[in-house]
Amino acid sequence: MGMRTLEARARLLKPAAARGGRALPRLWLVSDPVRLPDPRAAAARLPRGAGVLARGLAATVLAGLAAIARRRGLTLLVGGAPHVALRLRAGLHLPDRAPPAGLAAFLAARRGGAPWAVLTLAVHGRAAVARARRLRADGGFVSPAFPTASHPGAPVLGPLRWAGLAARLGRPAVALGGVAAGTAGRLPLVGRGRARGLAAIVGLAGR
């Protein structure tokens, strides 16, 4: 029920253009080293055109996930590992910390027009907004939108602050953190701070 509800909610979002003429996914499955260390089964159930953000996966799991993504037409982002993203011809997601080694090579592939070289960033505040603009990112995962088991007790943005940060980003904003069937409807659908995507771990894992 959770996946179907989130999928239906995601269809209400206005598509955002990405590289190579493809639309940036409106629905994202996010892996997690503890809560979803193997997202392959969940990825195989995603609708075509959805996306997967792979974080902290074992090499064999990531290879299998990349194969599923190719077969099902999913956009794959590799978290924090530019050299792996280049090898898999996948997109790259930068966490909110110092730039990883190999970033220059990935950015060169972007400048060269590689259609698969989608770049997104984790956005938790204004510093990340400035970084996303400087790198000309395709989008940002703005989080945590709501209370989340991934970071229990951490401060959350809530719908109004989420929308404000998304508006400052000036790029398609994907909501992450506590996004589930019961919370997704609280995100804005119109205006500069509207949501362009929904991202979830357990909510899309079929649990």
The predicted model gives 114-123 an average pLDDT of 96
What band does 122 get if pLDDT is binned at 50, 70 and 90? very high
pLDDT of residue 2: 64
Q: 86-97, pLDDT tens digit by residue?
A: 999 999 999 998
Q: Is 193's pLDDT higher than 60?
A: yes
What pLDDT is stored for residue 69 in this prediction?
A: 98
Q: What is the DSSP track for 123-190?
A: ESSHHHHHHHHHHT-SEEEE--SS--TTSTT----HHHHHHHHHHHH-S-EEE-SS-STTTGGGS--S
Average pLDDT over residues 51-64: 97
Average pLDDT value for the chain: 93
pLDDT of 52 > 60? The answer is yes
Give the pLDDT band of residue 12 (cuts 50, 70, 90). Answer: very high
Query: Percentage helix, strand, coil, to 5, in the chain?
Result: 35, 20, 45
Token pair, residue 86, equals 């280049």
The CATH code belonging to domain 2-10+22-204 is 3.20.20.70
Q: Render pLDDT for 139-185 as a digit per residue (tens, 0 to 9).
A: 999 999 999 887 777 789 999 999 999 999 999 999 999 999 889 99
Place of tokens 């995507």: 197
Q: Is the per-residue pLDDT at 22 higher than 80?
A: no
- The amino acid at 118: V
The domain spans of the chain are 2-10+22-204
pTM of the prediction? 0.95
pLDDT, mean of residues 26-41: 96
> What is the pLDDT, as a whole number, of residue 1?
46
